[in-house]
Every structure is written in C-alpha cells, then in structure tokens.
Homo-oligomer: A and B are copies of this chain.
Amino acid sequence: MRFALLGTGRISGWFARTCHDSGIAEPAIVYSRSQERGEEFARSHDIAAWSDDLDAILADPEIDAVYVASPIPAHAAQVRQALAAGKHVLCEKSLAVDLAEAEELVEAAKKADRVLLEAVRHIHDSAMETIRAHLPELGRIWSASFEMIQYSSRYDAFRSGTVLNAFNPELGISALADVGIYPLHAAVQLFGAPRRTAAMTLSLPNDFQASATVLLDCTSTVVTCRYSKVTHGVTPSVIEGEDATMTIDKIAEPSEIGLHYRDGRTRTLMSVPARRPGDTMTGELEVFAQLVEAHDVDHRFHAQTLAVQAIVDEITAQAGESAPPVR
C-alpha cells in the first residue's frame, strides 16, 4: 500500500518509520505547503518524493491511501478531498473538531466507498488486546481510572512568559486534544459509550485548557479520566474488579501490565522496556490495511470515533459552563 503523508510533524515521522518497518506499506510521497520542509522531511525519513501540490498527489493513481497528520482543524477539508479523489484515508486523532463534522466525514467515506479510519494508536496496539483478554479475571468491574498526566517541556517556556504553540488555545490545541484523548479512547474501547459525562476543566490565564478530570458513567462501571500538560503523574492507570485490580503503567503506550489479587498475589501480564509513542503505531496501520483489503468501509471503529467525539463535545460544553479560569 502506497501512502501519501499529509503533514511533516513528529507524528508523521513516526508513521513513516512504522510504514518502513511494516513490510506492508510504503510512504511514497510527503505533502507540505513548503517545498523546503517537504524535501527535508522526505530526505530524513527515506521518502522518495515530496510536493506542495495536493491536487496532483491525489490525482496520482499510484497512491492508494492518504495519512492525514495536519492540525486538527485542517483534517476535514483534506479528508473530504482525499475521499473524493478515491483514496482510502487514515486520519490522525481527532478526526474532526466536533461530532457533527465527524458524522459528516464518516458518511462521506461510506458514500465514496472508501475506508476512513481514525488513527488512534493505542486502541489498535497489542497491549490493548492483552488488557481486554484479561478483564474477565478481574470479576465484576466497578471502577477504572485512566491517566495521562504529562508535564510538557514547553510549559517551562510558558512559565517564563513565552507562549509556544503547544499552549496556544487559538490553534485548537488543548490538554484534551493532546493527552486527554488517550484515556477517553481507552475507556470507550473497554467499557463502551457512557450514558453520562461529568467534566471539570482548569485553564491557564490565556484560556488554554491545561488539566481536567472527567467521569464517565459506563452503566456498570464508572471510569475516571485524568489528564494534564502541567503536572507530573506518578500513578498507573487502574481497572478495579471484585477479584483483582489491573494496573497499566501508561495508557497510551503500556509497557507494564499487572494483575493484583486481593490476597496479595500479583501476576505480570506484560513487561517490556518503556515504549515510545512511535513504537505503538503498527497496530493501527495493520488494521487499516485489513479494512482496505476487505474493502470494509462501514466498519466497527466508526462507532468508537463518534462515541469519543461526543464525549469531547460534552467536556468542551461543560468547560464553557465553568467559572472563568483562576488568574
């Protein structure tokens, strides 16, 4: 499968490497509005071609699929254009800026008879399968707490008075989009769409939403999602059942997964050296390739995308209802 990569950010580089390593996909060309940035990215990621002409890329019959890794607000237009050109589309999370846009893009893919998949790396990672496979051993599951509490290196600059893009709310960036999305996707993947959402979000003086806690009522299980770009988390994510509790060191890229029984026994389900985000994109690429191979355009992952986007919209609405940020 020959991919056109849209975007030259860090995640696009990880995806290029994932393709090279996969044996099933080739990063054939990279698109950038800047020829210079495109060339630099192509050369440093072993990609044969680059271009600033998206129409020409999409008109190329040698290109099978498009990987969209532009800023979130730019996703919709590029996804629509790629689908209209007959390409399959793997689009970085979040697919859309809100639920209405996400629903429109899913419908557009079905009408175009092409595969559209949101690239949510951890739900397609083999570690998620390990987690799911062992849930029955926990007994009835009452609660879970999924965390992604990561102090951003860019926050040092913010505290010194310089607002870098990573903390600029006008670019559609937030702790929710950057890190919160991981615990939310894990919750929906494992426990289904919630029937209620309660969120409390805290913002920086420039209105950047920096930290939040979200409760999801998943009928028989309450899931807490905690995320932040301004503090340093030290506790694992946990799933608590009547017979045992499961711990997951990092919900976005697990390397240690354990079972803790009430009698004190423990059991290691996964233990590998710490993984980087770029090490966990193979699953999503393989799932995408399988969907394309099966020409499964109306697949089950659309429901996951839409359920999480509905939660994101609800969190955003509740943040708007909150008192103004503490200054």
The chain A residues found within 8 Å of chain B, CB to CB, are 142-143, 145, 149, 151, 155, 159, 195-196, 198, 200, 202, 210-213, 215, 217, 219-222, 224, 226, 228, 230-236, 238, 240-242, 244-245, 247, 260-262, 322-323, 326
Q: Are B202 and A211 in contact (CB under 8 A)?
A: no
Q: Secondary structure at chain A's binding surface: helix, strand, loop or mixed? A: strand
Partner of A226, one of B224, B232, B234, B260: B224
- The CB with the most chain B CB atoms within 10 A, among A198, A240, A241, is that of A240
A212 surroundings in chain B (CB, below 8 A): 222
Asked if A235 and B233 make an inter-chain contact with CB atoms under 8 angstroms apart, the answer reads no
User: Roughly how many angstroms separate A194 CA and B40 CA in the complex, as a whole number?
Assistant: 52
Q: Could you tell me if A215 and B217 are in contact, using CB atoms closer than 8 angstroms?
A: no
Q: Please, how many angstroms separate the alpha-carbon atoms of A200 and B159 in the complex?
A: 35
B245 touches A234 (CB 8 A): yes
- Provide the residues of chain B in CB contact with A228, threshold 8 Å: 142-143, 240
The CA of A233 and the CA of B262, in the complex, are separated in Å by 9
Q: A142-B202, A202-B222 are in contact. Are A233 and B213 (CB under 8 A)?
A: no
Other A-B pairs, 11, CB within 8 Å; known A213-B222, A231-B241, A233-B238: A145-B145, A145-B226, A149-B240, A196-B200, A198-B198, A200-B215, A200-B222, A202-B221, A217-B322, A231-B245, A234-B260
Cβ-defined partner of A230 (8 Å) among B142, B235, B236, B247: B142
Q: Which of chain B's residues has its CB closest to A194's CB?
A: B200
